[in-house]
Structure 1
């Protein structure tokens, strides 16, 4: 009799990206995906966000492996950070594993890590308490798989990112028969993609998108800069095909894109329609505009910032000029709409024009309402956990499921760290485990917390105010008049009275401290900081970061 069965989201719920889920079956833990998320604007200076691995690290001896659905950053981007401390087996399709190897190789500690295992839709792995198998799904990258954990209580099914496309090519086709088989054998819980749950529109099939790209290439007389996501292999193939048919050559920008293209070509998932299709960046300026396609993905696969640089003459390779068409072949998330609108404006200011697939077609790699209901009807799950999406998307998915007849109390809209525990034939919410965001800034992992982010916001909003003073503690006097510096707070020359009064406040705070018998450096700095902060806020209604620097002449060192 099954005693312990839990499902725990460590990311991917109430947010876009950072997919990571754990299924505990007795004394074994199965990790489903290990992704990252690109930060929102308020996370100043943060490069990426990954899940908090604390609970899994505490129980690492129970982890049997990480099972990957596909090769996008939201599914594999967290691997280097997890595997650095916890080297466990990693399972995925041929394409997914090759991209995972590229991702992991970026971490020096993992250069010799080789515990990768290539699986496919025919693979079934028997562990002590569950059997893990896989099924083909349709997404924008080949080798996308859903994951099925067969337990004593029933199947736990994780869709990964998916959509249904009846016109999909063989390497992208969904295995409908396999889904129906799982449904007939009793699906206990379904973890299903919610990214496109609000869309009532049918997704355009890839055949129509391919024709649309070809027409765009055919009828534009000048240079075309195509913005795409580096790991959308299907879209890149369509771009290659359209370029060949319209007698154009393609210039790839960025190392990320080149690595992914080379990997896909080596695995025969990406084919060049003609041998000389690709041109080097050195050849870019020798090509006639009507022969040129520039494929731009930007750093880490994000094209928007690169396009902004092109429009403002800051890009290392090219600048947008009159006659250029920027063709956006990726559908940005709702959260990026304002950023994309600003980027479009910049391009028009640079005399370019903009066209986006999303203006005319409903292009998405994720399931819409009809797809989500079909998945539920095929698998017939007892319980549903909507995943991969902000709260409103999870809520929309829940309503979609209710329309199919699922009971409201069998649908769980979770947050990170929630534990869904199976007990006496039912799932219920148990005691939560530690979970949250770990922020990556440069080489720092998790060393940027809320206090550091608060200081960065203050610096960005109100600037910094520095007071440098030299004292002689033995003689209990100030040796040199305070030197005040402001950056991003006020213009010093235009605020002489403010600076003069601030200097007097610093002197008074220090003299009060020097007069005391017991002298404490921390108390001295805190008094200077508090007195200055009060005065500056009264005068400006701003809160700059105040940094007192107190030096002592005899010891010649900073305090």
Structure 2
């Protein structure tokens, strides 16, 4: 009996390439689709009013019958944050480790979905069968506990997706990345390695998380008289564990503030990923019962986010915490690209209030959770892939990763820098790019998902730059009369009381435009009236001010 011809494997990134965040990748073989991660991104500066960015899943909606499940590498927002939005369109089973699913459960409760998604808990070392594909979860080190790399067995060969990883030889929980298993897979033969690129430009190795613990221990010892406030990422369970352990050794009570920090610490303690000595944690409302040197505060707000707990402390707007000369604030995180000004503003405000501030530019109070060049090269050496795809990062990160792969002996023609929506097709004859699928960014604004598009963003940018002029008038098109107005309303353009002459001239030009339209021709078109007013005013205002406010005529026919 002749062998059944093997089909084609399609690798389709729907996010996470040529951008930071919004990680989502589709693997498709025959009638089976699996989705790796389902993350959100944050809006660019030219997206005013937008809260979040999630992947466009049009392709998945069109092929929802083929979807066998979503498999998750870990619980960071850029890998799971889009799940509540995506589940409203497709509702496959979700596979993840215990902490990852614990974080997702909190998130789903907040979103109050009208159905209960099926969450399936797996452990590192476990394999799940999804159609003709099977997924093995491999323990990895990252800046959140319970992270995994994935080995996907396909009829064509093994595909490894590293997820986010680092090689930490002294991890807080004692569990190193399972490089033995990666080496075993490399000996079997790896078809494709999809390897993260975030730190591909950085030489050497990423320092161990324990380095942060040593720095914090020194800081606590050197500042016995101060209250210590530490801002860190809420998902960095191992960092929070170190802070708790050090506080206990120095006889300090620990209070936690910030909704996400409270949620994740609660989940981590409940699921056994953190241990807290009895009586150590106190409610934030109890801190005034203790002397400053008896307290450690753990808070959110590492990115200077307005309304975060640390931001409100810095600007004296926190209900329970007032900072001053007796306080030391440690920013135990690095600024995400684009957030530098926000973080700097918080540091400046804290300094104005007499607060001592330490951050990673001053002392080693943060280490990355992503692999640097030597760790990426180790991953390449262990797995020995035939084909290679850099993932997770902007183009420069992907390009740096590509060069590392070529230096390690992977043929240049077998290294593929892809893009969101681009199909990498692999079969028994080779690998190639083979078209695209619909993909891009869906913008989330409040409760609205996808209802803010390019036209709305263009209008918002226009309003934010030059303001708005509203022209209100009533006309009788049959009698060809201007009955009232035009009245001029200015918002964000000029201060009316200081520009009365300009406003009067604006009113007169609008009136002339309306009267001219009413007097010409046999039929008066209200849209023509609006267009004429808009055009005449735009030309006049630009000539007078070199600004282009949005002109909004409101013409009522009575």
Q: Tell me, yes or no, whether TM beats 0.5.
A: yes
2:51 equivalent to 1:47: yes
What residue is the counterpart of 2:530 in the other structure? 525
Corresponding residue number in structure 2 for 1:141: 144
The counterpart of 1:542, out of the listed 538, 547, 551, is 547
Structure 2: runs of 5 or more not aligned: none
SS of the residue 2:509 aligns to: helix
Residue 296 of structure 1 corresponds to 299
Q: Is the CA contact (8 Å cut-off) linking 1:89 and 1:115 kept in structure 2?
A: yes
Deviation, 1:85, is 1.7
Residues 55-70 of structure 1: pairs in structure 2 closer than 5 A: 55-70=59-74
SS at match of 2:128: strand
Q: 2:127 aligns with which of 124, 128, 136?
A: 124
Q: 1:316 and 1:199 mapped to 2: Cα distance?
A: 41
Matches within 5 A, 1:476-495: 476-495=480-499
Shift of 1:253: 1.1
Q: 1:345 corresponds to which residue?
A: 348
Whether 2:179 is the aligned partner of 1:196: answer: no
RMSD, aligned CA: 1.7
Residue equivalent to 1:285: 288
1:557 aligned partner:
none
Q: Is the 8 A contact 1:304 1:343 kept in 2?
A: no
* Partner residue of 1:360 out of 355, 360, 363: 363
Q: 1:396 to 1:525 in 2, by over 3 A?
A: same
Aligned position for 2:34: 30
**Structure 1 residues 288, 41: closer, same or farther in 2, change over 3 A?**
farther
Query: Where does residue 326 of structure 1 map in the other structure?
Result: 329
Q: Partner of 2:102: helix, strand, or coil?
A: helix
1:442 aligns with 2:458: no
Write out the 4+ residue segments of structure 1 that deviate beyond 4 Å after TM superposition: 301-304
2:97 aligned with 1:81: no
Correspondent of 2:380 among 376, 380, 391: 376
Match of 1:415 among 413, 419, 440: 419
- C-alpha contact 1:228 1:303 (8 A) present in aligned 2: no
1:182 to 166, 181, 185: 185
Structure-1-length-normalised TM-score = 0.94
Residue in structure 2 matched with residue 216 of structure 1 by the alignment: 219
Among 241, 259, 263, the residue aligned to 2:263: 259
Give 1:540 shift. 0.9
CA contact (8 A) 2:140 2:178 kept: yes
- Tell me the CA shift for residue 172 of structure 1: 4.3
- Which shows bigger deviation, 527-536 or 285-294? 285-294
Q: Deviations over 1:141-192 (max 9, x none)?
A: 2211111111122111111110001111446421111101111111111111
TM-superposed deviation, 1:312: 2.2
Given that residues 304 and 345 in structure 2 are in contact (C-alpha distance below 8 angstroms), is that contact kept between their aligned partners in structure 1? no
**Equivalence map 1:69-108=2 (5 Å):** 69-108=73-112
Q: Map Cα deviations across residues 25-79 of structure 1 (whole Å, 9 max, x no partner).
A: 1111110000001223322111110000101100111111000000111111111
In 1, the alpha carbon distance for the partners of 2:202 and 2:166 equals: 12
CA shift for structure 1 position 424: 4.1
Other structure's SS at 2:91 match: coil
> 1:505 Cα deviation (Å)?
1.4
**Which of 453, 460, 471 is equivalent to 1:467?**
471
| Cα deviation, residue 303, structure 1 | 5.3
Distance 1:473 1:318 in 2: 64
Q: Find the residue that maps to 2:113 and give its secondary structure.
A: helix
Asked whether the equivalents of residues 142 and 171 of structure 1 are also in contact (C-alpha less than 8 Å), the reply is: no
Give how far 1:475 is off: 2.3
CA deviation profile, 1:382-410 (whole Å, cap 9, x unmatched): 11111111111111111121221122222
Which residue among 167, 173, 185 is the counterpart of 2:176?
A: 173
SS at match of 2:486: strand
> Per the alignment, in what secondary structure is the counterpart of residue 49 of structure 1?
strand
Question: Could you tell me whether the CA contact under 8 Å between 1:69 and 1:92 is conserved in 2?
Answer: yes
Larger deviation, residues 80-89 vs 113-122: 113-122
Q: Residue 374 of structure 1: CA displacement? A: 0.4
**Distance in 2 between residues matched to 1:495 and 1:16, nearest whole Å:** 45
Is 2:473–2:554's contact at 8 Å kept on the other side of the alignment? yes
Structure 1 stretches lacking a partner, 5+ long: 555-559
| 1:456-504 residue CA offsets vs partner (Å, 9 max, x unmatched) | 1121111111111122333221122321111211121222221111111
Q: Is the 8 A contact 1:312 1:319 kept in 2?
A: no
Q: Could you say if the C-alpha distance between residues 333 and 481 of structure 1 is closer, same or farther in structure 2, counting changes exceeding 3 Å?
A: closer
